[in-house]
DNA sequence: CGCCAGGGCCTCA
DNA sequence: TGAGGCCATGGC
């Protein structure tokens, strides 16, 4: 069986650079690898809001449409988010689903940022910041890690249903494994490199969508040779 | 029409 | 701590 880095290289060879996280500025999306600097506070805020919106929801078009709505109203802004009525916010993010919960969670998040501004949060150690984010309503491990990695540029590997599916099929672990155990495996198996974590997770999502679906489409899968699951076919 | 998507919270045992 | 119900949209 291949090791993690070999899997990464195979995926990268096949799908190319992904350039997550899309940060929309005036309706455009900017691949983060082109920025070559830390995100601005506004961009970090947008990534965090996107992380709330993305939970159990299709990024495209559900979340994208919501973020465009927010940008149109110049709502990626703490003061404006603080002022906007929760019901109004819910309407703007309706396309993301669970909009009442998400609007409430985002409002609480904005309130939280008023006490602990992004400029201070970004200076914290990864694990310390992770604990703080996890204490927020609506922020579970995946959402926290998405914010850490794609917003704050902290090396915290994002584990999602796709990661669990792909790597259990490859034979790295069985599908009952916990989030923290999977993450530990990635943290020990790879160098703690933000750009590597960023690309790897994005490649995992791409691969899951193209081939490693719930009902796997193994024809043309670049990991066919490495995969235990494929052998059943 | 049912299933799925870049989950997480709450409740109950 | 684990299972189950709930939140809700849009694409296929």
Distance measured from the CA of protein residue A101 to the C1' of nucleotide B10, in angstroms: 13
Query: Residue A184: which pLDDT band, with cuts at 50, 70 and 90?
Result: very high
Give dist(CA A179, CA A189) in Å, integer: 15
Q: Which contacts of A156-160 are long-range, i.e. CB under 8 A and separated by 24 or more positions?
A: A156/A126, A156/A130, A156/A183, A156/A197, A157/A183, A157/A186, A157/A187, A157/A190, A157/A197, A157/A200, A157/A201, A158/A197, A158/A201, A159/A183, A159/A186, A160/A201, A160/A204, A160/A205
Strand C-contacting residues in A 65-104, CB cut-off 7 angstroms: 65, 94-102
Q: Give just the sign of the alpha carbon dihedral A44, A49, A52, A58.
A: negative
Distance measured from the CA of protein residue A74 to the C1' of nucleotide B11, in angstroms: 39
- pLDDT, residue A230, reads 75
pTM of this prediction?
Answer: 0.95
- Give the position of tokens 């599916």: A165
Cβ atoms of residues A114 and A82 within 8 Å: yes
Say whether the CB atom of A58 is under 7 angstroms from strand C. Answer: yes
Distance measured from the CA of protein residue A94 to the C1' of nucleotide C10, in angstroms: 11
Examine the pLDDT at A27 and tell me if it is beyond 60.
no
Query: Residue A207: which pLDDT band, with cuts at 50, 70 and 90?
Result: very high
At residue A45, φ and ψ (nearest 5 deg) are -60, -45
Would you give the DSSP letter of residue A24?
E
- pLDDT, residue A33, reads 72
Give dist(CA A167, CA A156) in Å, integer: 18
* CA-based nearest residue to A61, from A16, A94, A13: A94
* CA-based nearest residue to A78, from A44, A50, A114: A114
């Amino acid at each position: 069986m291949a090791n993690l880095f070999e899997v990464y290289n195979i995926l990268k060879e096949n799908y190319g650079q992904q350039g997550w996280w899309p940060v929309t500025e005036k309706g455009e999306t900017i691949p983060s690898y082109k920025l070559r600097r830390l995100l601005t506070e506004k961009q970090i805020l947008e990534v965090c809001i996107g992380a709330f919106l993305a939970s159990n929801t299709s990024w495209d078009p559900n979340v994208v449409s919501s973020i465009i709505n927010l940008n149109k109203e110049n709502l990626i802004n703490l003061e404006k988010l603080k002022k906007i009525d929760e019901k109004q916010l819910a309407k703007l993010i309706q396309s993301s689903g669970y909009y009442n919960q998400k609007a409430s969670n985002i409002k609480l998040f904005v309130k939280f940022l008023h006490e602990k501004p992004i400029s201070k949060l970004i200076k914290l150690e990864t694990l310390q910041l992770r604990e703080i984010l996890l204490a927020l309503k609506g922020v579970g491990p995946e959402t926290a890690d998405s914010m850490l990695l794609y917003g704050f540029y902290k090396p915290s590997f994002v584990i999602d249903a796709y990661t669990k599916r792909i790597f259990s099929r490859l034979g790295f672990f069985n599908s009952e494994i916990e989030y923290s155990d999977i993450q530990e495996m990635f943290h020990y198996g790879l160098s703690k490199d933000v750009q590597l974590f960023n690309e790897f997770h994005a490649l995992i999502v791409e691969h899951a969508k193209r081939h490693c679906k719930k009902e796997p489409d193994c024809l043309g899968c670049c990991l066919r040779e490495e995969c235990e699951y494929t052998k059943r076919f």
